[in-house]
Amino acid sequence: MMDAMLRRPRLSKTVSPEDRHLIDSYIKKNGVRKFEEGLQADQYGLKDFLALHGWDMKIDGNARFYRLKKASSPGRHKKVLAKEVIKLVDQIRVGLGLTPLRMAETAGKGKRK
């Protein structure tokens, strides 16, 4: 009895025809985003990616704020929001011809409303 209570509920694996139409039309309009194998978009993956491209990122333990500076520049790290870190990562990725992490950057629409 206890095992049955602890199991996760089963989720439907089928997509309704209405949802399938929305998905298909979105893919037709925007395409499918593809990322390189092994991409890690967590805070440690972002830190490693930035280190490879000349940035030093410190994780304060608070997932909302980070400390960031150009590795070659002297001085203190600047306190930034997580979205600013992702924006920098996306700028670097686009410059390298890679798919950006944020959808808005892919669509070229800028900020979401």
Point out which residues pair with 58 in neighbouring strands: 67
Domain parsing of the chain, residue ranges: 40-113
What is the structure's pLDDT at 112?
A: 40
Query: Mean of the pLDDT values across residues 8-36?
Result: 82
- Contacts for 99 with CB less than 8 Å, ≥ 6 apart: 33, 34, 35, 93, 106
Query: Mean of the pLDDT values across residues 43-55?
Result: 93
Task: Please tell me the least confidently modeled range out of 12-16, 92-96, 99-103.
Answer: 12-16
Q: How many CA atoms lie within 13 A of 12 on its CB side?
A: 3
